[in-house]
């Protein structure tokens, strides 16, 4: 058991409505429950600061990191891909994304994935936000990056079939949400965050001209 498993989180005195941080639960035992080519299920026996004990299961991984790219061929539109989602046994519309290869930075990985999945590279890539997914069950984190100033560039990828690339207006997100094939929470959050960033940049640019 490492000290990081049991040491309470240091927290300063809460101000206003800021939450009071609790002591992290003590990890009593951990056990590998199941493994496959992609997934590792781990069981954690925990004792909380109030004495309650529970067993949690979680998915663990190599923690290589992952990227999701909001790629804009022009200031009004974004590239989306249509790919088969085995979890739903159907095709879904989402943003290009993928794992970070060993030795890659997030920016390099984002540009590579963009070339593999959409056939474009980007002269400008900037970080937007870091998102998690189902944190009660996994510690997977995804870096969302905004890619602009695109240029044609295709790299071979590992997709089993060619991906269909679509162009959609970023200001038409409410219309996209009405579609049955567009429902990935990370992609939706990423697009709204990118849209708001672009709106803010436009307002600041217009204010500078006054």
* C-alpha separations of 72 from 60, 106, 158 in Å: 33, 18, 23
Question: For a pLDDT cut of 70, what percent of the chain falls above it?
Answer: 89
Same domain, 29 and 96: no
- Which of 12, 46, 61 marks a domain boundary? 61
Tell me if 117 sits within 8 A of 96, measured CB to CB.
yes
CA 100/CA 1 separation, integer angstroms = 29
Same domain, 140 and 156: yes
Q: Using the 8-state DSSP alphabet, how is residue 180 labeled? A: T
**19 domain residue, yes or no:** no
Same domain, 169 and 201: yes
Same domain, 123 and 157: yes
Same domain, 205 and 122: yes
CATH assignment of the domain containing 122: 3.90.79.10
CA 54/CA 47 separation, integer angstroms = 7
Tell me if 163 sits within 8 A of 75, measured CB to CB.
no
Same domain, 72 and 86: yes
Average pLDDT over the chain, rounded to an integer = 89
Q: What is the pLDDT of residues 122-179, one digit of tens each?
A: 999 999 999 998 898 988 899 999 999 999 999 999 899 999 999 999 999 999 999 9
Q: How many domains does the chain have?
A: 2
Same domain, 72 and 153: yes
pTM for the structure as a whole: 0.84
Tell me if 28 sits within 8 A of 6, measured CB to CB.
no
Q: What is the pLDDT of residues 181-197, one digit of tens each?
A: 999 999 999 999 999 99
For residue 159, give its domain range.
66-209
The H or E element that residue 90 is part of is: strand 90-94
Q: What is the pLDDT of residues 35-58, one digit of tens each?
A: 998 889 999 999 998 999 999 999
Report the 10 Å Cβ neighbour count for 70.
Answer: 25
**162 domain residue, yes or no:** yes
């Amino acid at each position: 058991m490492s000290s990081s498993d049991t040491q309470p989180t240091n927290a300063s005195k809460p101000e206003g409505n800021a939450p009071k941080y609790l002591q992290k639960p003590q990890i009593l035992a951990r056990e590998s429950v199941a493994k496959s080519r992609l997934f590792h299920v781990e069981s954690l026996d925990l004792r909380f600061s109030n004495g309650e004990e529970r067993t949690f299961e979680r998915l663990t991984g190599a923690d290589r990191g992952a990227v999701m790219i909001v790629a804009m061929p022009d200031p009004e539109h974004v590239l989306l891909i249509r790919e088969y989602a085995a979890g739903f046994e159907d095709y879904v519309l989402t943003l290009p994304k993928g794992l970070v290869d060993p030795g890659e930075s997030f920016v390099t990985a984002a540009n590579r994935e963009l070339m593999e999945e959409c056939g474009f590279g980007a002269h400008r890539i900037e970080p937007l936000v870091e998102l998690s997914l189902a944190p009660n069950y996994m510690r997977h984190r995804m870096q969302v990056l905004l890619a602009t100033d695109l240029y044609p560039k295709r790299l071979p990828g590992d997709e089993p079939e060619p991906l269909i690339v679509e162009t959609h207006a970023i200001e038409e997100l409410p219309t996209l949400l009405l579609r049955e094939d567009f429902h990935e929470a990370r992609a939706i959050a990423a697009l709204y965050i990118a849209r708001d960033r672009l709106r803010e940049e436009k307002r600041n640019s217009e204010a500078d001209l006054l």
